[in-house]
Structure 1
């Protein structure tokens, strides 16, 4: 069994990453999961949060939107609407987005047409704030 596997992180606009990695962790609806080479196949529904992958001793961290992941023994695909490298997160912008969406959601019900979109934006902003606030190496 090889020690690495192929990881692809894809948005509708482009391939965000494609390469060989040692490990990947991602946020799923039932909690965070980790993948190593040779992993059993499964599908996961992703929620906004941190995806981290390690390749050759270097770890890359990014915040992704909701999406899907297909895991297999030799390849893992992560399909999301958007992804932002942790180093590119604008904390002030994320905090403003969270405030705006929280205020808007306070006056809505789940039946409102914008509720789902605002909930997604709020969760993504929260994830960015959480990840950007972590000490490096965690």
Structure 2
């Protein structure tokens, strides 16, 4: 599998995705970053946003509400509490996710939580606009 690596997306309940990938773009805490095969090992915090995964057979956008990533030369593992495939999201689901984030924002009590939830709300509103177009 020259030029590819194992991409896994894991939630507390199950493995949501495990496929060979050519490239993954991640919403890191310091900004987006791209991972290719052979990447230097790194562990990073992920902000709410969309992962853009170029798989061997397709490209997928995956919304996560934040999490962590472990990158190794032959694999990328994303740990996210909640995730969904953008193309599979319906307007009601997006609205429910947005309501949860807005409710949590009202009770956020520190700068990191405010930044995290504000980012989630911005991304979810962007996804809603994309579905409405």
- TM-score of the alignment, normalized to the shorter chain, above 0.5: yes
> Structure 1 residue 14 and structure 2 residue 14: aligned?
yes
TM-score, scaled to structure 2: 0.78
1:88: how far off? 2.4
Which moves more between the two structures, 56-65 or 70-79?
56-65
Identify the residue that residue 33 of structure 1 maps to in structure 2: 33
Report how many residues are paired: 130
Name the SS of the counterpart of 2:40 in structure 1. Answer: coil
- Flag the structure with higher helix content: 2
Segments of 5+ residues of structure 1 without an aligned counterpart are: none
1:6: how far off? 0.5
Identify the residue that residue 56 of structure 2 maps to in structure 1: 56
RMSD value over aligned CA atoms?
Answer: 3.0
How do 1:1-138 residues align onto structure 2 when only pairs under 5 Å count? 2-56=2-56, 58-95=58-95, 98=98, 102=102, 105=105, 110=109, 116=113, 123-134=119-130
- Flag the structure with higher strand content: 2
8 A Cα contact 1:64 1:83, kept in partner: yes
Return the alpha-carbon distance in structure 2 between the equivalents of residues 104 and 54 of structure 1. Answer: 32
8 A Cα contact 1:91 1:128, kept in partner: no
Segments of 5+ residues of structure 2 without an aligned counterpart are: none
